[in-house]
Structure formats: structure tokens, C-alpha cells
Amino acid sequence: MTDDDMARPDAQALAGIRVLDLSRVLAGPWATQTLGDLGADIIKVEKPGEGDDTRGWGPPWLADGEGRPTRESAYFLAANRNKRSVAIDMATPQGQALIRRLAEQSDVVVENFKVGGLKRYGLDHESLMALNPRLVTCSITGFGQDGPEAGRAGYDFMIQGMSGLMSVTGSPDTEPQKVGVALVDILTGLNATIAILAALEQRHRTGRGQHIDIALFDVAVASLANQALNFLVGGTAPRRLGNAHPNIVPYQAFETSDGHLILAVGNDAQFARFCRLADLPEIAADARFATNRERVAHREALIPPIAAALKRQTTAEWLAMLDAAGIPAGPINTIAQAFAEPQALARGLAMSLPHALGGSAPGVRSPLRLSDSPHGQPTAPPWLGQHTDEVLETRLGLSAAERDALRAAGII
């Protein structure tokens, strides 16, 4: 592929796919941001004067071209690049009509209202798919479209607790802990993206769209992975192990002479090399530690001598030796140190995008890299209503006078 090909918008994987984003906060916006990274055209509908809740979730705030804080929060910037913001009041009949017209022209609608919340506006999936049978609609809720909890609101933190995730996160000597980012929201957004892409692929065969039901609770439980199966197979609820692993030993954080490192021994050959490197011949010769199965069974006897050995040298010294021996290990970085890692610099993970309010908006580059359909030039998250006139004119054919009338009535 040539440089010219890479510059063409239609070279992106989802070029030509139109997405109407009726979601806010994180799970839905993360899904639509991901679709936008892949080339889809994302129109984000927001309430005039208020917008997505996360616009106000600061500090920190984006600075404009003169260094003054704007009303754009870092939280909002994290999940809304590659989108056009249209301010429409969906509580009004005129606003609902505008959104229905946009849905008629769309391939995908993403929303995260409570179950039944859009029905009173005539914007639920049945109503929209009656207008556009090819439409893929994705509803993201806390607990799904059915079941005894369907009507409840769901938030990442409470779902982390209800799903069991917090029961296996944190030290056994402290209270259960949540993950340091809203990981259930992120995983829900990614699962929604996968389902949307699958529905679009099926539409190629059937000509029809479909409704997708994605629940934070379902995603959180499904994402327990080996811990869920440890319970379902073993019959005993897993416990918190801090930074240790329930199924692999040694696979945890250890203290060094000047800090900490993560040692992630994944197989018996790596363990044997580690014992030679750490000068632990008695451990290597002990039948209790010969296999991972035995090491897990005798964890309490194995960890203390390993911990004592690792305290003898600095983190940097250990990491250099472990890397040379092909033993997986790494530092425990701050976020600042993570962005300063040579690999992060080489991959360009931090980026800066020109923003319509002046200055630039920092961002994190998408991890999705496709050889034949590379990313186009990403755009900064929009300010509230930035593209209202553009979209209503080009998509719906509304004249300046018609838009002015809608604006005067507070509909846009």
C-alpha cells in the first residue's frame, strides 16, 4: 500500500459506515470511538447546553490556544475522538423527528438508556428498525433487556462488585478493591464493537439489521475468565491473592533492593533458568517445585526464598539479567513512566490533535493496526454542538433559516 493509499479516507476498514451515537459516559462512547478509529463516520447526539455527562467530569480540563481551561474534561477526551457533535433535544417532538431522520440514513445506532427509556421518544430499536430495516441497533445497559434486574441502572464500580471481580482484586489482608480504571465499561464497549461488526457482516448476507443487547453485568462475569472456571470446575470461590496468580507460580510482584518488579514465570523451563540465575540450586532440585502444578500446591514454601533472592539486587539489575535469560519480567511503572517507555515512544502511543477551541488535545493512539486499512488522520473530540449546522445541512438538507428557527426554539 502506498502513502497515497494510506491517506485516502476510503482505505479505512469501516469507510462508508455511518454510526449514530446516542450514548454517553464511557461504555457506549468507547464502542463508537473504536468504530471511528476504524473509519466509520460517527455522529454524536448530545443535549443542547449540557452534552455528555463526562464533559463536566474534571479537573483536569483541556486548555485552549491561550492556555486557559475550557469546559472540556480529560475524561470526555478519552472516549470521543473521531466524532461529530450534534446538539439536539430529543425530549421534543421536533428533536425526535430529526434523530429519526438521521437514523434512517445510518447503519448503526448505539445507545445506553435504561431499558425502555427510548420508547417514549419513539427512538427505541423497534421504531427505528421499522424505518430502516437494515439498521443495526446496540443497546448497552447495566443488566440487559430482561431478567429481574433489567430495570436497574448499572455503573462500572457497582458492577465490579456484583460480578465478583472485586472479590479477587486486592490483597487478602485488605478490603476488596476495584480495578484502577472503569474496566467493565471499557470491556463492554469492546464487546459491543465486536457484536456490531458481526451484525454488519451478517447484514451483508441477509440484507437486514438486528438488535444487540449488551449488559455490563454479563460482560463482567464473562471476563472473569479463568477465575470463573476455577469456581465452576473446582467448586470453591477464588480468593484475593494480591499480585499473585491463582494458577501459576511464581507469577507476582516482588520487592528488590530499591523497588519492585513483576516476575512472570510461565513454564517449567523458565523456572529452571530462573533458579540458576537467582542461585537457588536447592529450589531447582526440590521435587515440590519441579512443575507448575507442584509449585502452586507448595506456594507458601516457595515464595519466601525467591523473595529473599530478589532483594539482593536492584530492579534494573534484575530486569537486565532476566531479559537476557528469556524470563518474562517487567517494572511497575507509573503512568508517566509508561508513556516514557522506549516502546511507547516508538509506537507513538501518546498523540496530540488540533482542537477547534484552539491549542491541541492530547490523546492515546488506538491499538488497532491493520496492514491494508490503516487509520486515517484522527480528529480531536468535538466541542458540544460543533457540527450541528454541518450535519443538519449536509445530511438532512435543512436551510440556514430552518436551523435558526430550531435554535431559537431550543431544539438544537
Cα separation, 86 vs 47, whole angstroms: 9
Using one digit for the tens of pLDDT, what is the confidence trace for 348-369?
A: 999 999 999 888 999 999 999 9
Q: What is the pLDDT of residue 66?
A: 87
Residue 298 has a pLDDT of 97
Cβ-based neighbours of 308, under 8 Å, separated by 6 or more: none
369-378 pLDDT tens trace: 999 988 778 9
End-to-end CA distance of the chain: 42
C-alpha of 326 from chain center? 31
E strand or H helix that includes residue 5? helix 3-7
DSSP β-bridge partners for residue 84: 43
Mean pLDDT of 43-69: 94
Fold agreement (3-224+343-409, 260-331) = no
Query: What digits encode the pLDDT tens for the residues 87-136?
Result: 999 999 999 999 999 999 999 999 999 999 999 999 999 999 999 999 99
DSSP for 6-19, please give it.
Answer: HH-GGGSTTTT-EE
pLDDT tier at 10, thresholds 50, 70, 90: low
Tens digit of pLDDT for each residue in 274-327?
999 999 999 999 999 999 999 999 999 999 999 999 999 999 999 999 999 999
The whole model's pTM is what? 0.92
Q: Look at residues 88, 84, 87 and name the one whose alpha carbon lies nearest to residue 356.
A: 84
Q: Residue 262, Cβ neighbours under 10 Å: how many?
A: 15
Q: Catalytic pick from 37, 41, 107, 185?
A: 185
Average pLDDT of 129-151?
97
Q: To the nearest whole number, what is the mean pLDDT of the chain?
A: 95
Q: Given this model, what pLDDT does residue 65 score?
A: 87
Is 60 exceeded by the pLDDT of residue 3?
no
* Distance separating alpha carbons of residues 340 and 346, to the nearest angstrom: 10
Q: Which pairing describes strands 360-364 and 69-73: parallel, antiparallel, or unpaired?
A: unpaired
CATH of the domain spanning 3-224+343-409, picked from 3.40.50.10540, 3.30.70.100, 3.30.450.70, 3.90.1150.10: 3.40.50.10540
pLDDT of 7 higher than 90: no
What is the DSSP track for 346-388? HHT-EEEEE-TTSSEEEEE--S---SSS------PPPPTTTTH
Closest CA to 412 of 87, 49, 91, 85: 87
Q: Between the CA of residue 127 and those of 101, 284, 296, what are the distances in Å?
A: 12, 67, 55
Q: Residue 340 — pLDDT band, cuts 50, 70, 90?
A: very high
Q: What is the mean pLDDT of residues 163-192?
A: 96
Closest CA to 19 of 78, 113, 82: 82
CA 350, 354, 360, 363 torsion: positive or negative?
A: negative
- pLDDT for 8 equals 58
Residues 260-331: name the CATH superfamily: formyl-coa transferase, domain 3 (3.30.1540.10)
Residue 258 annotated in active site: no
Rounded-to-integer distance, Cα 156 and Cα 182, Å: 6
Per domain, the residue ranges of the chain are 3-224+343-409, 260-331
